[in-house]
């Protein structure tokens, strides 16, 4: 929701071209809030307001605009106004933004940018979207091992405003190979001995990611090691960028959302719920619903086959139909639970593929326990609903439930492991898909057991 | 999995009491990795190894141990050895740890701690578990507005090693009311004019949380405003603590896991998948499976009621049973999708309760579109599976699907909104629960339509 509180005043200031007040508006609040208050303005109006902020602040407020607005501004604003802003943007955000702007506009902007920024954009845009390379920024501080503490502090002070973070400082050799890390806090503690060499203070055992690593790997390392930023290296261990905590938080938020959507069978959304067009959202749900629909049709076809083959027998057992929903939903639920447990455990790293045997063993055991317990309740329910009651008829329910739950836990745990093994996202093994699969298996088990028991109604 | 690579060497060093090599082991690696390599040792052994690290490093490595091990060490190590470590621990971690240690041990330790730490523990342990207060630490830097830049830098330098972060510095008045914030980067940029007053540099529009706020609110603000740390204030706007980015990352990870579990009907786990005892895990799944089982039994009872009431009529329509799985799973799937979309949108703040009318309207529209499309496919499937074919019989499938999908989207969206309105976690409205509810509704719709159509088999 746009915050409309300041809109009338802002429009009035713009109409009057009241520079002093517009400037005051830009500087008074946290840049994120300033951006929030401008949400109700058109792109043109917000760009006009931004002209009253100094460049560093202008870049900051612009950074908090929604993606659509940023794109609109870059595409519509006069080239000579937009180029300095693009040149000053953080390197990682800039690449992401330009990737979404119309190609024509990018081609017009690129020659107008300073050579260094141009090369930077070309370098960063080489990496695939979900890799560490695509997340990293090149605005980081490089130190040399031979520098003294005093020189390092002076260098950082000069660059402080242009760097993404000054709190972790990376030490590289002449060919940019990563040698070590020193935190600003360490540097500060060493100010008492300004002649100490960086090489004597720095940490040499670093946690790094490769530029090709998946962004989930980045998030896991930053979370596990409580880092403020993580260095990104290439295959020769040259430092090519850093990824800061705020980008990691964004990744975690996006990944959690994506996983939730996938598990429920919704193709991930690029925008918020209310911002996604109704037809697009319908489509993203519809594909999965249709796939699952055909899964359910398979169940129907299976049922049909049994019905035709054992027509008279099944028709004589009126209660068979009653337990179909029970068999299906119990199998699906136990499968969902296993799939969610395994997908979550894989993504937090609390299990790896090497544990597959232990996982399967645990799931089978749990399946037996859960299936056994539910089976006992199921026998009771069977006794109530099956008329005329027969022990053999009621016994089909617990046997079916036991087998269905074991199949559910097994399928729910093996499929995500298999997907992981194949290098695919285990969350693609959506719960709905697991449930659909178990429906078919469950119906087959149920029918097979009823046929095998050869029950003759009282 | 414990990393067993160094275990034999470590045990040998301990047996020989080889101080030099043990010291080297403690200092050579990142503390998180040192802790990892010690996972295979017993608590006693790892405590013995830790004695060879200086106190700040010892605290750091200890901080990366698993919770169980920390508790075991605190409970078992000699009091005079453990007290200095507890005194040096970050204030927030310390409170969390002591909350899990046996009460007797805590009562023995408390009088041995310095008075300041003791008061700190008492203050921090006042807050309920999921609040900002329970996450915050009290180790932060306080500045006064009247200080000059040079004095501020000197003060920070002295305290640097004891503070949780030195990168955000909070400005308070004599009664601890929060007045402003200055980043270390700003301080550094201002070093050229060392006489400048902090009050002239600091930012006054701050993003804060109240100590009673939910930790999800904390995570949302830190993520939205790209913060390194967020100040926690009490109702009088007195600064009582700060929460740093690493704690926020942990919260996000835990919340995402919890939501995933809840949606699949598993009570949240305190430990990783493999570490949770099989019986505990079975129990956490079993409660939900049983609840859902009785949901499915409701469906069976409903079916039974219709079967008894319209016995001859339903028995004459052999195909009715075939489409039960289809009706149930399509309703459940569409409900799951809606529930996931709404729960995610609520937790990321992209919708609020005020939007409920728009949400319901969108969901009904999507339900009509999805139900309509699936209904057409369903009519085709009906034409194939219904023998003898009749238009009226096949028409029951699309009509049922349309109504079931609309009910699914409606239930899936309204229940999380309702739970949110009641102040409960919308993720409690687990997908499995929504699906169970829609099963009963779906069967009722299906039977009702078949009865209402009064089809006479060819």
* Contact at CB, A293 and B374, closer than 8 angstroms: yes
- DSSP letters, B324-353, are HHHHHHHHHHHHHHHHHHHHHHHHHTSS-G
> Do residues A372 and A410 lie in contact, with contact meaning Cβ atoms separated by under 8 Å?
no
Contacts of A306 in chain B (CB under 8 A): none
Rounded to 10 degrees, the C-alpha dihedral B416/B420/B424/B429 comes to 0
Question: How close is the nearest chain B Cα to the Cα of A415, in Å?
Answer: 16
The mean pLDDT values, 10 residues at a time, for chain B of 458 residues are 74 90 89 88 91 91 91 91 90 88 89 88 85 88 91 85 82 93 87 90 92 91 90 94 91 85 78 83 86 86 89 85 88 88 82 88 92 91 85 91 94 89 74 80 92 78
* Contact at CB, A253 and B348, closer than 8 angstroms: yes
Provide the CA B397 distance to its chain's centre, in angstroms: 41
- DSSP assignment letter at B65: S
Output the pLDDT for position A1: 44
Cα separation of A357 and A98, whole Å?
46
Contacts of B228 in chain A (CB under 8 A): 167, 228, 245
Q: Which of A30, A207, A322 sits opposite B225 (nearest CB)?
A: A30
Output the pLDDT for position B290: 87
Q: Which domains does chain A have, with CATH numbers?
A: 7-126 (1.25.60.10), 142-254 (3.10.580.10), 278-453 (1.10.357.20)
Contacts of A323 in chain B (CB under 8 A): 300
Both tokens of B338, joined, read: 């809606």
Output the pLDDT for position A429: 61
Q: Is there a cis peptide before residue B388, judged by omega within 30 degrees of 0?
A: yes
User: Which residues neighbour A406 within 8 Å (Cβ) at sequence distance 6 or greater?
Assistant: A364, A367, A368, A371
Contacts of A1 in chain B (CB under 8 A): 352, 354-355
The residues in A 199-218 lying below 8 A from B, measured between CB atoms, are 203, 205-207
A-interface mutation test, from B247, B336, B398, most A Cβ less than 10 A away: B336
Contacts of B326 in chain A (CB under 8 A): 293, 296-297, 299-300
Q: What is the CA radius of gyration of chain B?
A: 30
> Do residues B411 and B335 lie in contact, with contact meaning Cβ atoms separated by under 8 Å?
yes
* B344 in A contact zone (CB under 8 Å): yes
* B261 in A contact zone (CB under 8 Å): yes
Output the pLDDT for position A458: 55
Q: Which residues of chain A have pLDDT under 70?
A: 1-3, 428-432, 457-458
The residues in A 300-329 lying below 8 A from B, measured between CB atoms, are 300-301, 303-304, 307, 315, 318-326, 328-329
Output the pLDDT for position B457: 66
């Amino acid at each position: 929701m746009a915050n409309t509180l300041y809109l009338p005043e802002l429009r009035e200031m713009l109409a009057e071209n009241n520079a002093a007040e517009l400037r005051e508006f830009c500087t008074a609040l946290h840049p994120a809030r300033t951006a929030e208050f401008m949400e109700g303005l058109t792109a043109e109006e917000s760009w006009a307001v931004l002209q009253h902020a100094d460049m560093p602040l202008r870049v900051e407020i612009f950074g908090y605009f929604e993606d659509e607005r940023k794109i609109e501004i870059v595409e519509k604003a006069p080239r000579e106004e937009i180029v300095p802003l693009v040149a000053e943007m953080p390197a990682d955000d800039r690449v992401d933004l330009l990737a979404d702007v119309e190609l024509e506009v990018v081609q017009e902007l690129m020659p107008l940018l300073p050579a260094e920024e141009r090369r930077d954009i070309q370098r960063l845009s080489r990496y695939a979207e979900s890799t560490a390379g695509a997340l990293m920024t090149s605005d980081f501080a490089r130190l040399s091992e031979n520098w003294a503490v005093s020189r390092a502090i002076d260098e950082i002070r000069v660059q402080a405003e242009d760097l993404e973070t000054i709190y972790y400082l990376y030490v590289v050799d002449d060919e940019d190979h990563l040698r070590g890390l020193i935190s600003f806090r360490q540097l500060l503690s060493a100010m008492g001995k300004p002649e100490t060499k960086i090489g004597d203070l720095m940490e040499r055992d670093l946690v790094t990611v490769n530029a090709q690593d998946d962004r989930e790997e980045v998030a896991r390392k930053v979370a596990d090691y409580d880092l403020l930023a993580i260095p990104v290296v290439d295959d020769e261990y040259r430092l090519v960028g850093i990824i800061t905590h705020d980008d990691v938080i964004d990744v975690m938020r996006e990944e959690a959302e994506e996983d939730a959507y996938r598990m429920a069978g919704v193709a991930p959304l690029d925008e918020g719920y209310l911002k996604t067009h109704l037809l697009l959202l319908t489509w993203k749900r519809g594909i999965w619903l249709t796939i699952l629909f055909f899964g359910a049709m398979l169940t129907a076809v299976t049922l049909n086959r049994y019905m035709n083959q054992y027509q008279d027998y099944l028709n004589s057992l009126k209660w068979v139909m009653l337990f179909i929903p029970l068999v299906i939903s119990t199998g699906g639920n136990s499968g969902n639970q296993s799939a969610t447990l395994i997908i979550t455990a894989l993504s937090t790293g609390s299990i790896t593929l090497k544990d597959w045997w232990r996982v399967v063993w645990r799931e089978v055991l749990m399946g037996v326990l859960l299936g056994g317990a539910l089976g006992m309740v199921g026998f009771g329910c069977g006794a109530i609903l099956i008329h005329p009651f027969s022990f053999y008829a009621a016994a089909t329910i617990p046997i079916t439930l036991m087998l269905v739950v074991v199949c559910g836990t097994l399928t729910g745990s093996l499929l995500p492991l298999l997907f992981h093994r194949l290098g695919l996202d285990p969350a693609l093994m959506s719960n709905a898909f697991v449930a659909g699969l178990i429906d078919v298996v469950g119906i087959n088990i149920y029918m097979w057991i009823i046929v095998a028991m050869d029950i003759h109604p009282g």
